[in-house]
Amino acid sequence: MVLAESPLPTDPQSSAVSDGSWTAADGAALYGLDRWGDPYFSVNGRGHVMVQPRGERGGALDLVELVQELQGRDLSLPLLIRFDDILEDRLERLHAAFERAIAQYSYSGRYQGVFPVKCNQQRHVVEQLVETGRRWHFGLEAGSKAELLIALSLIDDPEALLICNGYKDRRYIETAILARRLGRQPVVVIEQAEEVERIIAASQELGAAPFIGIRAKLSARSTGRWGSSVGERAKFGLSIPDVLATVEALRQAGLLADLRLLHFHIGSQINDIAVLKDALQEAGQVYVELTRLGAPMGYLDVGGGLGIDYDGSRTATAASTNYSLQNYANDVVATVRECCEPHGITPPTLVSESGRAIASHFSVLVFDVLGAGALPGAVPEPGAEEPLILRNLRDTYRSITPPPTPDQEGAEARGLERLQEAWNDALKFKDDALAAFRLGYLSLPDRATAEQITWACCQAIAERLAVLPVATPVPEELRALPAALAGTYYANLSVFRSAPDTWAIDQLFPVLPIHRLNERPQRLGSFADLTCDSDGKIARFIDRGQVKPLLELHALRPAEPYWIGLFLGGAYQEVMGNLHNLFGTTNAVHIRLADGGGYLVDHVVRGDTNAEVLEAMEHNPDQLLERLRLASEAAITRGSLKIHEARRLMAHLRTSLGQTTYLQG
Ligand SMILES: *Cc1c(COP(=O)(O)O)cnc(C)c1O
In 3D space, the residue among 597, 627, 652 whose CA is nearest the CA of residue 62 turns out to be 597
The rounded Å distance from CA 264 to ligand 1 centre is 10
**Residue 263 CB less than 6 A away from ligand 1:** no
Model confidence at 220: pLDDT above 80 = no
More confident residue, 149 or 417: 149
* Residue 278 CB neighbours (<10 A): 19
Where does the pLDDT of residue 376 fall: very low under 50, low under 70, confident under 90, or very high at 90 and above? low
Average pLDDT, the chain: 92
CA nearest to 281, candidates 366, 367, 371, 218:
218
The predicted-structure confidence for 468-497, as pLDDT tens digits, reads as follows: 877 888 888 888 888 888 889 999 999 999
Q: Model confidence over 567-600: pLDDT tens digits?
A: 999 999 999 999 999 999 999 999 999 998 999 9
Q: Which atom of ligand 1 is nearest to the CA of 270?
A: 7
SS (H, E, C) 445-492: HHHHHHHHHHHHHHHHHHHHHHCCCCCCCCCHHHHCHHHHCCEEEEEC
- CA dist 117 and 148 (Å) reads 9
104-118 pLDDT, tens digit each: 999 999 999 999 999
Helix H, strand E, coil C: the string for 533-576 is CCCCEECCEEECCEEECCEEECCCCCCCCCEEEECCCCCCHHHH
Structure confidence at residue 28 (pLDDT)? 97
Q: Which residues pair with 363 in a beta bridge?
A: 82
pLDDT digits (tens, 9 = 90+) for 43-102: 999 999 999 999 999 999 999 999 999 999 999 999 999 999 999 999 999 999 999 999
What angle, rounded to 10 degrees, do the helices at 145-154 and 123-133 form? 40
Hey, which of 188, 218, 265, 301 would you mutate to test ligand 1's pocket, going by the most ligand atoms within 8 Å of its Cβ?
265
DSSP string, 8-47: --S-TT----S-TT--HHHHHHHTTHHHHTTTTEEE-TTS
Check if 621 has its Cβ closer than 6 Å to any atom of ligand 1: no
Is the separation of the CB atoms in 129 and 87 below 8 Å? yes
State how far the Cα of 122 lies from the Cα of 145, in Å rounded to an integer. Answer: 16
pLDDT bracket for residue 3 (50, 70, 90): very low
Determine if ligand 1 sits within 6 Å of the CB of residue 317. Answer: no
User: What is the distance between the alpha carbons of residues 514 and 369, in angstroms, rounded to a whole number?
Assistant: 12
Q: Is the pLDDT of residue 8 over 60?
A: no
379 pLDDT band, cuts 50/70/90, is confident
304 lines ligand 1 (CB under 6 A): yes
Instruction: For 602, list phi and psi in degrees, rounded to 5.
Output: -70, -45
What's the helix, strand, coil split of the chain in %, to 5? 45, 15, 40
pLDDT tens by residue, 383-416: 888 999 999 999 999 998 766 555 555 666 678 8
How far apart are the C-alpha atoms of 74 and 573, rounded to whole Å?
24
Mutation pick for ligand 1 pocket among 141, 269, 505 (CB with most ligand atoms within 8 Å): 141
| Alpha-carbon torsion angle 324, 235, 212, 357, nearest 10 | -20
Nearest to 524, CA basis, from 499, 549, 500, 493: 549
> Residue 383: what pLDDT?
83
Calculate ∠ Cα 548-553-557, nearest 5°: 160
Q: Which residue has the higher pLDDT, 405 or 12?
A: 405
- Whether the CB of 284 sits within 6 Å of ligand 1: no
| 516 CB within 6 A, ligand 1 | no
| Percent of the chain whose predicted confidence (pLDDT) is above 90 | 83
Q: How confident is the model at residue 375 (pLDDT cuts 50, 70, 90)?
A: low
Atom of ligand 1 nearest to the CA of 269: 7
Q: What is the pTM of this model?
A: 0.90
Which residue's CA is minimally distant from atom 5 of ligand 1? 304
Which atom of ligand 1 lies nearest, measured to the CA of 359?
8
Q: Which of 511, 578, 582, 522 is nearest to 549 (CA)?
A: 511
Rg (CA), the chain: 30
How far does the centroid of ligand 1 lie from the alpha carbon of residue 278, in Å? Answer: 18
Q: Is the CB of 376 under 6 A from ligand 1?
A: no
Query: What is the pLDDT, as a whole number, of residue 662?
Result: 98
Nearest partner of 602 among 137, 139, 136, 127, judged by Cα: 127
Q: How many CB atoms lie within 10 A of CB 61?
A: 21
pLDDT of residue 484: 83
Instruction: Report phi then psi at 11, rounded to 5.
Output: -85, 120
Name residue 214's beta-bridge partners.
190, 262
231 CB-contact burial (10 Å; exposed 0-12 / middle 13-18 / buried 19+) = middle
Atom of ligand 1 nearest to the CA of 354: 9
Q: Which 3 state secondary structure label does DSSP give 99?
A: helix
User: What amino acid is encoded at 548 in this protein?
Assistant: K
CB 607 within 8 A of CB 659: no
Confidence (pLDDT) at 485: 85
How many Å lie between the centroid of ligand 1 and the Cα of residue 268?
Answer: 6
Cα–Cα dist 204/596, whole Å: 58
3-state secondary structure of 412: helix
| Closest listed residue to residue 359, CA positions, set 207, 606, 571 | 571
Q: What CA–CA distance (Å, rounded) separates 331 from 593?
A: 34
Lowest model confidence (mean pLDDT) among 32-41, 221-230, 412-421: 221-230
Span 499-528, average pLDDT: 96
For residue 121, report the distance from its CA to the centre of ligand 1, in Å: 13
Whether 265 lines ligand 1, by a CB cut-off of 6 Å, is: yes
